[in-house]
Structure 1
Amino acid sequence: MTVMQRISMRFRTGRASLRLFATLLLGFGCTATLAIAEPERPNIVIFLADDLGWADVGYRGRPIKTASIDRLAEEGVRLERFYATPICSPTRAALMTARDPIRLGIAYDQIHPWYNAGLDKDEYTLAEAFQDAGYQTALVGKWHLGHTQEHQLPNAQGFDEFWGHVHTNTDFYDHKREGGHDLQHNGESVHEPGEYLTHLEAREALRFIRERDEDKPFLLYVPFTAPHSPMQAPQETIDKYAGLPEKDYRRTYAAMVDEMDRAMGQVLAELESEGLAENTVVLFFSDNGGFHGYGGNNEPLRGQKGQTFEGGIRVPAVIRWPGRLQANQAFNDMMSVLDVMPTLAAAAGVELPAGTEIDGENRWPALLGQSVPRKTPLFFVSEIPVPGMIFTAVIDWPWKLVQIVREGQTATETREMLFQIDRDPNEQNNLASSEPEKVAHLAELLRQRRAEHPLAGTRGTLVPHPGWIPAKDWAQAVSPSEHLQDQWRNELPFDESLIRAIGDRGRLVDEETRARLRKQEREREKAWQQGGGER
């Protein structure tokens, strides 16, 4: 290999590297006109924590050791007003599609093993966008967006590689959920009993990086299982936190966060050793706030996972791209998990197809320092852990309305709280009584958005139907696409009067179907009139 070839290989990544390569060429006496190539598209790595508390990162001065997250915060931008949803599956749905999970029907509850819910096969995902742009794509970790039909699984939603599990609450050592085995690689069961799940996730993320096609950029999504229950960690790591209380699993929770952070550190070190760090965008955030009963701490924010107070939805988040994003900075504008797909696409020069429906906004210009406030309100709902107790919220900056709706057999009670969160981020001063017009306006926005939730979308349940039986192996309990119909239409006799009777309870059919029903109703009315018959 010539000296010039070695220099070319060494400095092949990043805009700064291209400039340096040009300088070196001139230093070697090259007098011909040099055509500077377009900078290589960045790699993308997304780390997702599960149930990590707002306060449970080292850079907030807390006792849990998170050296890797702290390093990202020092070398990147802290997203100090980043919003997820209150629950696992809705955040993942929003991340994958940039669509409000209320509209997707994956909002009020997580996808339990006894649900058949999942991503629509026609939704255009983050992975598909990057895959279509020539990226190789991989998911290592927890999916939690459908497990019963093939089109719901990662390999059918844009991921070339999937190594992980489809459920939440999967055991960290025997890798089972509801007694069924829940670990697979591209649809084939993987059995590694006794191996700690976070360690396996780190190993497989490293394997993907090492075995990747070096001629293509990559998107690597690593949704860790930790620190979600079951509360399990290696004993030696638990012992590191002997000074923390055992109550509410706080000590074990700390160990799980520690293990996750060390797994992240291994991936970051691999990026460096492969010469990829400078041209890799790394995003880290949590899928919702911490849960107090399992050790999470969201102080000073109010509330927790499952609630729409800030402690349930405002989460730790950091983004790093050396040389492009200014290091050790705080970004205090609103950003949502809905915004991740358009923002990363813009950063990487990936164009979404014309007509792609998204609810997220491109925040890349704002991250680069431009004054671009977020334009549209954010909506949140949750019906966990108590079925019939629904938390909702809407943020229309700087105002936030929180509703707690308690559905009974014959009556429904609603409590409303209004906060001006730029002045009251910890939601201590309820302004609902002094701002009735603002409450009414935000409540109407919430009503309209909740009315878009599909009637059959997820709602809060803690147990399965009595007739349900779990699979022995979840990878083997998937209905193949060839066994399913390509096109399907509900055969029940819906009409416009039924839709009107349902009202804002939820969406019975999509707008295209509703337009067809209206047309049919007009045609029937016209035929009756022409025939002189009675309706």
Structure 2
Amino acid sequence: PFFVWHNSTRMHVNTHLRPKYQDMVAEKGFAGATITEFDDGVGALLKKIDDLGIADNTIVIVSTDNGAEKFSWPDGGTSPFRGEKATTYEGGFRVPAVIRWPGVVKPGTIINDIFHHMDWIPTFLSYLGESDIKEKLKKGHQAAGKTFKVHLDGYDQLALLKGEGPGTRMEIHYITDDGDYSAVRYGKWKVQFTQQPDNGFAVWNTTFTSNRAPFVTDLRADPFEEASVRAATMYYDKWHFQRSYVLVPASAYVGRFLKTFDEFPPRSKAASFSIGDALSSIETASQGQ
């Protein structure tokens, strides 16, 4: 078995196209030419797999780690969803994913259930016969001569991918780049406890603001999170107040998630842009710790 993690620089700031694709800009535009270069790269990888004769036994996933970085458009791309990378709006978290898994995922399948990148590991292991890997790892599981005792936040989504059952993930937790809890989604409801008030490059400079009352969004009716800024206040405020009941299940999801940290605390701190954290790291390094 083998694993290849291919990180493309398309689309990502700053983009330097090869001459072949630079010549396409006049006809396709910058974004079109850049996506064409990315698409050709994916095609080359798929062709190599085909040429090796292993396509029927190889899983290929094309996705990304975060939403568009709109402030660096056109390199960073764009999105119809509100927000961007470094925010906890849908524009920062919701991404496409395409998978080729012969014998498991039927070609042309479209799935709109909640699916997280963390779901891949439990799903793949379930396919290999380890359907209870999450519970085994909580207790301590031996593999390759090592013992692993960890809490996987992913779900086994094999039945969903095979078209044999519904998705097993009902919720997703939105964590900021600084490692702070910001929001939760369960089903169609999203509840935000903090929000990024700025746009553009300022999202990297401005801290999140706390909401005195959690902010509720119906992502099925308002997938682009625009109602709070587009709808007339008298209508939206009434709607929002009448959905206060949404906070009860949301609190339960948050409580269960946070409870897992009692036994399984974070293994490392999140990356930080704070000068205080930077100085602390320098001090620790100077002491040889």
Match of 1:397 in 2: 187
Percent identity over the alignment is 24
Match of 2:226 in 1: 428
Q: Which moved more, 1:425-434 or 1:302-311?
A: 425-434
Higher relative contact order (CA 8 A, sep 6+): 1
**Are the aligned partners of 1:301 and 1:310 in contact in 2 as well (CA < 8 Å)?**
yes
Rate the CA distance shift 1:264–1:370 in 2: closer, same or farther, 3 A.
same
1:466 shift after superposition: 5.9
CA distance in 1 between counterparts of 2:79 and 2:56 reads: 34
CA distance in 1 between counterparts of 2:167 and 2:27 reads: 43
What is the 5 A alignment of 1:435-474?
435-439=243-247, 441-442=249-250, 445-446=253-254, 449=257, 452=261, 454=266, 457-458=269-270, 460-461=272-273, 465=278
Match of 1:327 in 2: 107
CA distance in 2 between counterparts of 1:426 and 1:364 reads: 29
Q: Deviations over 1:425-471 (max 9, x none)?
A: 222335533212323552564477468475972254176836989xx
Which residue, 358, 369, 378 being the options, matches 2:172?
378
**Are the aligned partners of 2:60 and 2:100 in contact in 1 as well (CA < 8 Å)?**
yes
Pair 1:268 & 2:81 matched = no
**Are the aligned partners of 2:63 and 2:95 in contact in 1 as well (CA < 8 Å)?**
yes
Q: Deviations over 1:225-256 (max 9, x none)?
A: 442333333244234223577xxxxx3x6554
CA distance in 1 between counterparts of 2:164 and 2:6 reads: 30
Match of 2:217 in 1: 419
Match of 1:355 in 2: 136
CA distance in 1 between counterparts of 2:134 and 2:253 reads: 29
**Are the aligned partners of 1:238 and 1:254 in contact in 2 as well (CA < 8 Å)?**
no
Q: Deviations over 1:118-155 (max 9, x none)?
A: xxxxxxxxxxxxxxxxxxxxxxxxxxxxxxxxxxxxxx
| TM-score, length-scaled by structure 2 | 0.68
Rate the CA distance shift 1:401–1:281 in 2: closer, same or farther, 3 A.
same
**5+ residue gaps in structure 1?**
1-216, 246-250, 470-482, 485-535
Q: Which amino acid aligns with 2:243?
A: E
CA distance in 2 between counterparts of 1:465 and 1:254 reads: 40
Rate the CA distance shift 1:383–1:358 in 2: closer, same or farther, 3 A.
closer
Rate the CA distance shift 1:397–1:294 in 2: closer, same or farther, 3 A.
same
Match of 2:119 in 1: 339
CA distance in 1 between counterparts of 2:188 and 2:159 reads: 21
Q: Which amino acid aligns with 1:361?
A: Y
The structure carrying a bigger helix percent of its residues is 2
CA distance in 2 between counterparts of 1:347 and 1:456 reads: 30
1:359 shift after superposition: 1.5
Pair 1:233 & 2:17 matched = yes
Which residue, 291, 308, 311 being the options, matches 2:88?
308
Match of 1:472 in 2: none
**Are the aligned partners of 2:70 and 2:84 in contact in 1 as well (CA < 8 Å)?**
yes
Rate the CA distance shift 1:244–1:292 in 2: closer, same or farther, 3 A.
farther
Q: Which amino acid aligns with 1:403?
A: F
Equivalent residue of 2:211, what SS? strand
CA distance in 1 between counterparts of 2:56 and 2:116 reads: 25
Q: Which amino acid aligns with 1:461?
A: F
1:281 shift after superposition: 1.5
Structure with higher Rg: it is 1
Which residue, 145, 161, 177 being the options, matches 1:367?
161
CA distance in 1 between counterparts of 2:175 and 2:49 reads: 37
| TM-score, length-scaled by structure 1 | 0.39
Equivalent residue of 1:401, what SS? strand
Rate the CA distance shift 1:307–1:447 in 2: closer, same or farther, 3 A.
farther
What RMSD in Å do the two structures reach over aligned CA positions? 3.6
Equivalent residue of 1:332, what SS? coil
Q: Deviations over 1:293-326 (max 9, x none)?
A: 2224443322211122211111110111234321
**5+ residue gaps in structure 2?**
138-150, 198-208, 229-238, 283-287
Rate the CA distance shift 1:448–1:380 in 2: closer, same or farther, 3 A.
same
CA distance in 2 between counterparts of 1:272 and 1:454 reads: 41
Equivalent residue of 1:219, what SS? coil
Q: Which amino acid aligns with 2:189?
A: W
Number of residue equivalences:
241
1:292 shift after superposition: 0.6
1:273 shift after superposition: 1.0
Match of 2:202 in 1: none
Match of 2:146 in 1: none
Rate the CA distance shift 1:376–1:325 in 2: closer, same or farther, 3 A.
closer
Equivalent residue of 1:393, what SS? strand
Q: Deviations over 1:207-232 (max 9, x none)?
A: xxxxxxxxxx3232223344233333
Q: Deviations over 1:162-215 (max 9, x none)?
A: xxxxxxxxxxxxxxxxxxxxxxxxxxxxxxxxxxxxxxxxxxxxxxxxxxxxxx
Rate the CA distance shift 1:350–1:429 in 2: closer, same or farther, 3 A.
same
Q: Which amino acid aligns with 1:465?
A: A
1:395 shift after superposition: 0.8
Rate the CA distance shift 1:316–1:382 in 2: closer, same or farther, 3 A.
same
Match of 1:219 in 2: 3
Equivalent residue of 1:335, what SS? coil
Q: Deviations over 1:90-140 (max 9, x none)?
A: xxxxxxxxxxxxxxxxxxxxxxxxxxxxxxxxxxxxxxxxxxxxxxxxxxx
Q: Which amino acid aligns with 2:245?
A: E
What is the 5 A alignment of 1:83-232?
217-232=1-16
CA distance in 2 between counterparts of 1:242 and 1:403 reads: 45
